[in-house]
Amino acid sequence: MTQRPTWQIVLRYILVLIVVGWFTFPTYWMVTMAFKPKVEWSTAHGTIYWVPQNPTLDNFETVLTEYRGRFFRANQSSALPSIRSSIIVSIGGTLFALLIGTLAAYGLSRFSTDTGELPWYIALGRLGLLILVLLPFMVLWAWLGIIRYWYGILSFTLLGIAVNQLLDKFLALFYRGPTGSLAFSILQLRMFPPMAIVIPVMIMWSAFKLIDTWYGLIAVYGVVTFPFVVWLMKSFFDEIPRELDEAAIVDGASNWGAFFKVVLPLAKGGLASTALFVFILNWSDFLIALLLTTRDWPTIPVFLNSLVSSEIGAQHGPKAALGLLAVIPPVVFGILIQRYLVRGLTFGAIKR
Amino acid sequence: MASVRLENLRKEFGSVVAVKELTLHFPDKKFAAILGPSGCGKTTTMNMIAGLETPTRGFIYFDDRCMNDVPPGKRNVGFVFQNYAIFTHMTVAENIGFGLKIRGVDEATIRREVGKIAELLELTDMLPMNAGRLSVNDMQKVALGRSMIVKPRIFLLDEPFSNLDAAFRAYMRGELKRIQREIGQTMIYVTHDQVEAMSMADYIAVMDFGVLQQFGTPDEIYNQPVNLFVANFIGSPNMNFIPCYFHSQNGQGYLVQKHGNARILLDDRRRQLLERHPGNQDLIWGVRPEHLTLHAEPSQPEYLRATVRFLEPLGPKTVVHLELGDQDTIKVIAHPSYREKTGTVQWIEINPKYLHIFDAKTGLAIR
Whether B262 and B116 share a structural domain: no
Q: What is residue A49's three-state secondary structure?
A: coil
The rounded distance, in Å, linking the Cα atoms of A83 and B14 is 55
Whether B323 and B222 share a structural domain: no
Q: Average pLDDT of chain B?
A: 88
Residue A331 φ/ψ, nearest 5 degrees = -65, -45
Nearest to B83 among A243, A251, A266 (CB): A243
Whether B50 and B159 share a structural domain: yes
How many residues belong to chain A?
A: 352
Contact between A59 and A35 under an 8 Å Cβ cutoff? The reply is yes
Higher pLDDT, A271 or A75: A271
Nearest to A257 among B52, B79, B102 (CB): B102
Total domain count, chain B: 2
Q: What is the pTM of this model?
A: 0.79
**Does the distance separating the beta carbons of A346 and B136 come in below 8 Å?**
no
Give the residue-averaged pLDDT of B177-186.
Answer: 85
Sign of CA dihedral B256, B261, B262, B265: positive
**Does the distance separating the beta carbons of B132 and A348 come in below 8 Å?**
yes
Cis peptide before B243 (omega within 30 of 0): no
Give the residue-averaged pLDDT of B114-124.
Answer: 87
Q: Average pLDDT of chain A?
A: 85
Nearest to B136 among A247, A249, A351 (CB): A351
Give the residue-averaged pLDDT of A326-343.
Answer: 82
- Closest residue in B to A249 (Cα) is B73
How many Å lie between the alpha carbon of A111 and the closest alpha carbon of chain B? Answer: 12
Whether B144 and B281 share a structural domain: no
Domain boundary among B211, B233, B255: B233
Contact between A238 and A225 under an 8 Å Cβ cutoff? The reply is no
Q: What is residue B23's three-state secondary structure?
A: strand
Alpha helices in chain B (DSSP H): 42-50, 92-96, 98-102, 107-121, 136-148, 166-183, 194-200, 218-223, 228-233, 268-275
Terminal-to-terminal C-alpha distance of chain B: 37
Interval A223-249: pLDDT, tens: 889 999 998 898 889 888 888 999 999
pLDDT, residue A312, reads 63
Residue A1 has pLDDT above 80, yes or no: no
Q: What is residue B318's three-state secondary structure?
A: strand
What type of residue sits at position A12? R
The rounded distance, in Å, linking the Cα atoms of A115 and A108 is 8
The rounded distance, in Å, linking the Cα atoms of A304 and A320 is 9
**Does the distance separating the beta carbons of B98 and A248 come in below 8 Å?**
yes
List the CATH number of the domain containing B127: 3.40.50.300
A257 contact residues in B (CB cutoff 8 A): 102
Nearest to B73 among A244, A254, A268 (CB): A254
Residue B336 has pLDDT above 80, yes or no: yes
**Does the distance separating the beta carbons of A350 and B83 come in below 8 Å?**
yes
Nearest to B85 among A243, A348, A352 (CB): A243
Percentage of the residues of chain A whose pLDDT score is greater than 70: 91
**Does the distance separating the beta carbons of A246 and B79 come in below 8 Å?**
yes
Whether B257 and B336 share a structural domain: yes
A250 contact residues in B (CB cutoff 8 A): 50-52, 72-73, 75, 77-79, 147
DSSP string, A57-85: SHHHHHHHS--TTSSTT-SSSSSHHHHHH
Name the region of A58 (left: φ>0; alpha: ψ -120 to 50; beta: rest). Answer: alpha
Give the residue-averaged pLDDT of B163-183.
Answer: 85
How many Å lie between the alpha carbon of A173 and the closest alpha carbon of chain B? Answer: 19
Half-sphere exposure of B328 (CA within 13 A, CB side): 23
Interval A9-27: pLDDT, tens: 999 999 999 999 999 999 9
What type of residue sits at position B260? G
pLDDT band at A170 (very low <50, low <70, confident <90, very high): confident
Whether B352 and B263 share a structural domain: yes
How many Å lie between the alpha carbon of B88 and the closest alpha carbon of chain A? Answer: 6
pLDDT band at A278 (very low <50, low <70, confident <90, very high): very high
Whether B50 and B154 share a structural domain: yes
Contact between A231 and A187 under an 8 Å Cβ cutoff? The reply is yes
Containing domain of residue B281, as a range? 240-359
Contact between B243 and B258 under an 8 Å Cβ cutoff? The reply is yes
Whether B183 and B222 share a structural domain: yes
pLDDT band at A345 (very low <50, low <70, confident <90, very high): very low
Residue B266 has pLDDT above 60, yes or no: yes
**Exposed e or buried b for every residue in A149-179, given b needs 16+ CB within 10 A?**
eeebbeebeeeeeeebeebeeebeeeeeebb
Interval A286-309: pLDDT, tens: 999 999 988 888 899 988 888 876
pLDDT, residue A73, reads 55
Q: What is residue A322's three-state secondary structure?
A: helix
Whether B254 and B224 share a structural domain: no
Give the residue-averaged pLDDT of A40-51.
Answer: 81
**Does the distance separating the beta carbons of A252 and B86 come in below 8 Å?**
no
The rounded distance, in Å, linking the Cα atoms of A316 and A33 is 7
B146 contact residues in A (CB cutoff 8 A): 247, 251
How many Å lie between the alpha carbon of A263 and the closest alpha carbon of chain B? Answer: 9
The rounded distance, in Å, linking the Cα atoms of A330 and A90 is 11
**Does the distance separating the beta carbons of A252 and B102 come in below 8 Å?**
yes
Mutate to test the interface with B, among A113, A239, A250, A261 (most CBs of B within 10 A): A250
Name the region of B4 (left: φ>0; alpha: ψ -120 to 50; beta: rest). Answer: beta
Percentage of the residues of chain B whose pLDDT score is greater than 90: 19
Does the interface predicted TM-score (ipTM) exceed 0.85? no
Nearest to B150 among A244, A252, A345 (CB): A252
With a CB cutoff of 8 Å and minimum separation 6, the contacts of B251 are none
A352 contact residues in B (CB cutoff 8 A): 83
How many residues belong to chain B?
A: 367
pLDDT, residue A214, reads 93
The rounded distance, in Å, linking the Cα atoms of A182 and A191 is 15
pLDDT, residue A284, reads 92
pLDDT band at A351 (very low <50, low <70, confident <90, very high): very low
How many Å lie between the alpha carbon of B362 and the closest alpha carbon of chain A? Answer: 38
For A27-111+210-347, the fitting CATH number among 3.30.420.40, 3.10.129.10, 1.10.3720.10, 3.30.70.890 is 1.10.3720.10
How many beta carbons lie within 10 A of that of residue B52, not counting itself? 21
Whether B158 and B200 share a structural domain: yes
The rounded distance, in Å, linking the Cα atoms of B106 and B96 is 14
Q: Tell me if B187 is assigned to some domain.
A: yes
pLDDT, residue A309, reads 67
Give the residue-averaged pLDDT of A43-55.
Answer: 82
Whether B266 and B244 share a structural domain: yes
Residue B311 has pLDDT above 80, yes or no: yes
Domain boundary among B191, B211, B233: B233
Whether B261 and B312 share a structural domain: yes
**Does the distance separating the beta carbons of B147 and A251 come in below 8 Å?**
yes
pLDDT, residue B175, reads 84
Residue A349 has pLDDT above 50, yes or no: no
Q: Tell me if B297 is assigned to some domain.
A: yes
pLDDT, residue A222, reads 92
Domain boundary among B193, B215, B233: B233
Q: Which residues of chain B approach chain A closer than 8 Å at the C-beta?
A: 50-52, 72-75, 77-79, 81, 83-89, 98-99, 102-103, 132, 136, 143, 146-147, 150, 163
Q: Tell me if B367 is assigned to some domain.
A: no
The DSSP secondary-structure symbol of B41 reads S
B79 contact residues in A (CB cutoff 8 A): 246-247, 250
With a CB cutoff of 8 Å and minimum separation 6, the contacts of A334 are A276, A341
pLDDT band at A269 (very low <50, low <70, confident <90, very high): confident
List the CATH number of the domain containing B332: 2.40.50.140
Give the residue-averaged pLDDT of A83-112.
Answer: 93
**Exposed e or buried b for every residue in B236-271, given b needs 16+ CB within 10 A?**
ebebbbbbbbbeeeeeebbbbbbebebbbebeeebb
Contact between A184 and A108 under an 8 Å Cβ cutoff? The reply is no
pLDDT, residue A72, reads 53
The DSSP secondary-structure symbol of A271 reads H
Q: What is residue B261's three-state secondary structure?
A: coil
pLDDT, residue A55, reads 87
Q: Which residues of chain A approach chain B closer than 8 Å at the C-beta?
A: 241, 243-244, 246-254, 257, 261-262, 265-266, 268, 345-346, 348-352
Mutate to test the interface with B, among A113, A240, A243, A251 (most CBs of B within 10 A): A251
**Cα Rg, chain A, nearest whole Å:** 26
**Does the distance separating the beta carbons of A247 and B146 come in below 8 Å?**
yes
